[in-house]
């Protein structure tokens, strides 16, 4: 019998099994994403060729099409123009088109940024304050209130789409950044309160007491001592909130059109000539993926690191 | 530094009264220990002095100022927690400077005071370490340092040695005592450990059931306990009690228990009822061949230089602390008698000790 390892440590066979399962899972999840990224670097023809091209000549046509509006011109007209000033004009002219102006993508993208980060910040901030109150104070009807907060997640948010549509029209919140931030914050808040309350409960109240004795008010103690220690929970909560509000499609279609339209309802409307412009859609979704990915990678170390470990002897 | 005075202090949590009508004066520069079993209200009392709990009624004076309803941050006291409560996201230096930053000191002043405190506690070599990398003893020193840098009016400590290993606890106990002598700060210290209390305190208050039973110097608490609880809680083992089914009158100097006659110190006070208690410490009893209570040896414990013999008698189990040379075996028939007149009679109705020539 092998006595060189502890009973608690998995055998090398089960470690290999685990690695194999993780690799298979990673491949399954990564295939659509890598296909999307590949499509974004194809040209219009190779994107729809059959059999599909795995090896292809990369092109930035998708990205150019994503960011520009173009119109088809006759060869005579194109010949009459001065030579192209830069590489993307040249690319567009080679397709017998001229750039007529920037597309709406950048505006939609920044709408997504404003609404996504705005509602994430609001959810986490309000959620942290509420969670702290529920965790530390004697709130009347605490359990009922917590249940009520959770109950807002018991139906799909879109179930209340019609009342919200009417309310937003009356309140003038339709198609505004503020309206979308409020909406996504409301949807995310219950999750934020519940997640953060769990983390706050784990933080011994002696820390705030120590800070209060050291001359800080309760609010100062909350910001200087409690929040830094709740970073793990805040990071996790922020990622969940961000993913929801970044990806949300149904309310965005319903409530936004021009001013505050986010990227998800915009990307499918990118239509090329005689069919969907798949490279441009691929480019749009690839760029759309980046912020959440970067955000998650930045916060990942907080997810993994238990910063309060070892600070309190229990 | 300041005197601390609590007047008619009371604290209730719903129906439960944690601290009952307590009065206490802690002198300037005194090391004062609140001692009692868990749930006796000692920590609640300390937290009220700190401002972490607000009293239900009563007053707390810090110096001449009534602080009962002030926030903790407005009281200028320092608190050392049982679990240290060092901020884990800051290193040692930042932990020590945290209270000073709030008070708006200049950066150079903060640095000087932190380094001064660190030197005093011999933690100047770990100022830039993370809290999680420190040993229990070092964490304790940092927690003390955080209290020290502010030069507060008083130090409050809630079982600060409770989580340390036995070895560290003795060491820190000595250091605490030395530190107190060095800086002479008014200190209120909560513990359930009587040895800690005895070795650290200038005065001890013994609490039980939310009441302060006696506040005195350690030797008085030990030798002249005012109540039966104090007598049994202090001492290891605690005092022996026998029931006496007769009233005690003034000037009485003997007592009959189970037909045996015992000399007692001349009583200066008479009892309320006819059921009282005879109390004697184990070291004031001795084994005898021909007089005293008859019984058999029930248990033997060796303490190195001393030995505790438990004797089963018709009055119950009696603990006798004797010299190691006394040689008895389990189940051997022995007799137990007092070796001196250090005997206290407790009133059966009030549980208080009756005044006598020995205790008054």
Query: Is A309 a residue whose pLDDT tops 60?
Result: no
Angle at B205 between CA B203 and CA B208, to 5 degrees: 165
Q: Which ipTM did the prediction report?
A: 0.81
pLDDT (0 to 100) of residue B296 = 92
CB B26 within 8 A of CB B2: no
Contacts of A214-223 with CB under 8 Å at 24 or more apart are A214/B73, A214/B98, A214/B99, A214/B102, A214/B146, A214/B150, A215/B73, A215/B99, A215/B102, A215/B103, A215/B150, A216/B73, A216/B102, A217/B71, A217/B73, A220/B102, A222/A132
Asked whether the predicted pLDDT for residue A2 surpasses 60, the reply is no
Each residue's pLDDT tens digit, B226-264: 999 999 999 989 999 988 888 888 888 888 877 777 888
CA distance B177 to B172: 8
What is the mean pLDDT of the segment spanning B35-56? 93
Average predicted confidence (pLDDT) for chain B: 90
Percent of chain A residues topping a pLDDT of 70: 93
pLDDT score of B76 more than 60: yes
Residue B150: is its pLDDT beyond 60?
Answer: yes
Give me the mean pLDDT over the B260-281 stretch: 88
DSSP state of A54: S
* Chain B partners within 8 Å of A215 (Cβ): 73, 99, 102-103, 150
The pLDDT of residue A304 is 62
Percent of chain A with pLDDT over 90: 54
Tell whether B157 is within 8 A of chain A (Cβ): no
Average pLDDT value over all residues in chain A: 88
- State whether residue B84 sits within 8 Å of chain A by CB: yes
Query: What's the pTM value of the predicted model, to 2 decimals?
Result: 0.80
Q: CA of B78: which chain A residue's CA is closest?
A: A213
Helix ranges, chain B (H):
42-50, 92-102, 107-120, 136-148, 166-183, 194-200, 218-223, 228-233
What does the block give as tokens for B304? 């190195």
Chain A CB contacts of B132 below 8 Å: 309-311
Confidence of residue A157 (pLDDT cuts 50, 70, 90): confident
Q: Domain B237-347 is classified in which CATH homologous superfamily?
A: Nucleic acid-binding proteins (2.40.50.140)
- Measured distance CA(B23)–CA(B46) in Å, rounded: 13
User: β-strand B186-191 against B31-35: which pairing, if any?
Assistant: parallel
Per-residue pLDDT, averaged over A287-304, amounts to 85
Q: Name the CATH architecture for the domain at B4-228.
A: 3-Layer(aba) Sandwich (3.40)
Task: Give the highest mean pLDDT range of A176-180, A203-207, A267-271, A308-312.
Answer: A176-180
CA separation for the pair A73, B4 (Å, rounded): 92
| CA distances to A136, A217, B134, B140, B184 from B86, in Å | 19, 18, 11, 9, 24
Which residue's entry shows tokens 């194109």? A78
On the question of pLDDT at A222 being above 70, the answer is yes
CB contact under 8 A, B88 and A215: no
Residue B282: its pLDDT value, please?
93
Specify whether the CB–CB gap between A271 and A277 falls below 8 A.
yes
Residues of chain B with Cβ-Cβ distance to A211 below 8 Å are 87, 98
Per CB-CB distance under 8 Å, the chain B contacts of A231 are: 89
Q: For chain B, which residues make up each domain, given as ranges?
A: 4-228, 237-347
Q: How far is CA B38 from the centre of its chain?
A: 12
Structural domains of chain A, with CATH: 44-103 (no CATH), 106-304 (1.10.3720.10)
Question: Does the pLDDT of residue A177 top 90, yes or no?
Answer: yes
Q: How many CA atoms lie within 13 A of B206 on its CB side?
A: 24
Residue A272 is predicted with a pLDDT of 65
Collapsing DSSP states into helix, strand and coil, what is residue A276? Answer: strand
What pLDDT, in 10s, does the model give residues A13-70? Answer: 989 999 999 999 999 999 999 999 999 999 888 888 888 888 888 989 899 989 988 8
Using 50, 70 and 90 to split pLDDT, how confident is the model at B135? confident
């Amino acid at each position: 019998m092998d006595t060189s390892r502890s009973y608690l440590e998995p055998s090398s066979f089960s470690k290999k099994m685990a690695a194999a399962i993780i690799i298979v899972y990673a491949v399954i999840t990564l295939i659509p994403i890598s296909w999307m990224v590949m499509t974004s670097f194809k040209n219009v023809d190779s994107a729809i060729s059959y059999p599909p091209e795995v090896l292809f000549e990369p092109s930035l046509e998708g990205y150019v099409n994503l960011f520009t509006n173009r119109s088809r011109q006759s060869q005579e007209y194109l010949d009459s123009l001065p030579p192209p000033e830069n590489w993307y004009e040249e690319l567009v002219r080679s397709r017998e088109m001229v750039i007529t102006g920037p597309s709406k993508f950048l505006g939609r993208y920044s709408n997504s940024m404003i609404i996504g980060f705005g509602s994430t910040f609001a959810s986490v901030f309000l959620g942290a304050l509420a969670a702290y109150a529920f965790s530390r104070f004697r709130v009347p009807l605490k359990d009922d209130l917590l249940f009520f907060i959770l109950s807002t997640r018991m139906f799909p948010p879109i179930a209340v789409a019609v009342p919200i549509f009417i309310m937003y029209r009356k309140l003038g919140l339709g198609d505004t950044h503020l309206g979308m931030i409020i909406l996504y914050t409301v949807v995310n808040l219950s999750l934020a309160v519940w997640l953060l309350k769990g983390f706050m409960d784990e933080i011994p109240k002696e820390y705030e007491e120590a800070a209060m004795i050291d001359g800080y008010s309760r609010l100062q103690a909350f910001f200087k001592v409690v929040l830094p220690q709740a970073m793990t929970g805040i990071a996790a909560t922020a990622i969940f909130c961000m993913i929801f509000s970044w990806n949300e499609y149904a309310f965005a279609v319903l409530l936004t059109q021009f001013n505050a339209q986010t990227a998800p309802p915009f990307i499918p409307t990118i239509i090329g000539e005689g069919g969907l412009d798949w490279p441009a859609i691929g480019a749009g979704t690839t760029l759309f993926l980046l912020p959440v990915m970067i955000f998650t990678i930045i916060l990942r170390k907080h997810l993994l690191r238990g910063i309060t470990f070892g600070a309190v002897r229990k | 530094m300041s005197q601390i005075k609590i007047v008619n202090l009371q604290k209730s949590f719903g129906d439960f009264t944690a601290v009952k009508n307590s009065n206490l004066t802690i002198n300037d520069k005194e090391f004062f220990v609140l001692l009692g079993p868990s749930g006796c209200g000692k920590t609640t009392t300390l937290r009220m002095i700190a401002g972490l709990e607000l009293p239900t009624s009563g007053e707390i004076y810090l110096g001449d100022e009534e602080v009962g309803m002030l926030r903790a941050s407005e009281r200028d006291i320092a608190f050392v927690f049982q679990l240290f409560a060092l901020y884990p996201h800051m290193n040692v230096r930042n932990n020590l400077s945290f209270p000073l930053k709030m008070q708006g000191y200049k950066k150079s002043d903060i640095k000087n005071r932190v380094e001064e405190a660190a030197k005093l506690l011999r933690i100047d070599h770990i100022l830039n370490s993370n809290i999680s990398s420190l040993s229990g003893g070092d964490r304790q020193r940092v927690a003390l340092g955080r209290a020290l840098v502010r030069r507060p009016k008083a130090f409050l400590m809630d079982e600060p040695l409770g989580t340390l290993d036995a070895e560290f606890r003795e060491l820190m106990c000595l250091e605490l005592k030395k530190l107190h002598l060095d800086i002479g700060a008014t200190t209120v210290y909560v513990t359930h450990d009587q040895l800690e209390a005895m070795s650290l305190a200038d005065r001890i208050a013994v609490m039980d059931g939310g009441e302060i039973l006696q506040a005195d110097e350690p030797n008085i608490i030990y030798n002249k306990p005012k109540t039966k609880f104090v007598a049994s809680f202090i001492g290891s083992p605690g005092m022996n009690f026998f029931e006496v089914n007769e009233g005690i009158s003034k000037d009485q100097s003997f007592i009959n228990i189970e037909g045996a006659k015992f000399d007692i110190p001349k009583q200066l006070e008479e009892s309320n009822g006819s059921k009282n208690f005879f109390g004697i410490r184990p070291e004031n009893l001795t084994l005898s061949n021909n007089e005293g209570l008859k019984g058999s040896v029930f248990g033997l414990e060796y303490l190195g230089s001393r030995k505790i013999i438990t004797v089963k008698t018709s009055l119950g189990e009696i603990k006798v602390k004797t010299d190691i040379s006394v040689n008895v075996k389990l189940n051997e028939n022995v007799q137990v008698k007092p070796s001196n007149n250090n005997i206290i009679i407790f009133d059966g109705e009030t549980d208080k000790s009756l005044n006598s020539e020995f205790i008054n």
